[in-house]
Structure 1
Amino acid sequence: MSNTQLAGGDERIVRRYEYDDSWVLVADLGVADEDLDVDVVGDTAIIVAEIDDDVSEAEFELPGPEASVTTNNGVLTITGEK
C-alpha cells in the first residue's frame, strides 16, 4: 500500500491510498451529507457543496474510471479498481 496526502488552498486534506488492485481517495469536507453532491464522469469527480446559501463546485481527476462514491458525516470516500 502507498499513501499520498495532498492539501488544497484551503488546507483541506485529501488522502490517496494505492493498493495492488484498487485505489481510495478520502477527504474530510466538513459538509453535511445532505448538502453534498458528487458525480463521477469517466475519470473525473465533480463535487458540489451547498453551505448556507453559497454553492461551491470543484472537480478533479481520479486515478482511474468507474469509481464508487460514499459520504459519511462529511467524509467523502471514492474507491476504484486498477
Structure 2
Amino acid sequence: MTLEQFTKDEGQVARRYEYGDETVLAVDFGAEHASASVDTVDGTVIVVVDDDQYEFELPVGADDAHTFIKNGVLTVEVEGDL
C-alpha cells in the first residue's frame, strides 16, 4: 500500500502503522469529506471523495482487509504475512 498518492497534491495527513501481523493505513481527508466512501473489490481498495477516485491494490499476502471511513478519516486494516 502506498501513502504517497494520498499526500502529494491534496495535503492529507496519512500514516501507516505496523502491529505484529496487522498493518493499518489511516488517511485524514478532513471532516468536510465525511460523505466519502470506500469499498474493496477483488483485492483493490476504491475510495471516492467528492469527484476524485483513488484505487490501490492490497499487498500480496493480505489475508483479510477491513475498510471504513468515519468523520473523513479512511482506515484500512490489513491482516496477513505482508
Q: What TM-score, normalized by structure 1, do the two folds share? A: 0.71
1:56 and 2:52 matched: yes
What displacement does 1:73 show? 1.0
Question: Is the contact made by 1:40 and 1:46 (CA closer than 8 Å) also made in structure 2?
Answer: yes
State the AA in 1 paired with 2:12.
R
| Cα distance in 2 between the residues matched to 1:28 and 1:46 | 16
The structure in which a higher percent of residues are strand is 1
Partner of 2:15: 15
Q: Deviations over 1:5-48 (max 9, x none)?
A: 7532222122111121110000101211xx21111123321111
State the AA in 2 paired with 1:62.
L
- Alignment CA distance shift 1:65-1:14 (3 Å): farther
| Cα distance in 2 between the residues matched to 1:36 and 1:70 | 10
Matches within 5 A, 1:62-77: 62-63=58-59, 64=62, 66-77=64-75
Unpaired runs of at least 5, structure 1: none
Percent of residue pairs bearing the same amino acid type = 40
Unpaired runs of at least 5, structure 2: none
The structure in which a higher percent of residues are helix is 2
Q: Give the match's secondary structure for 1:70.
A: strand
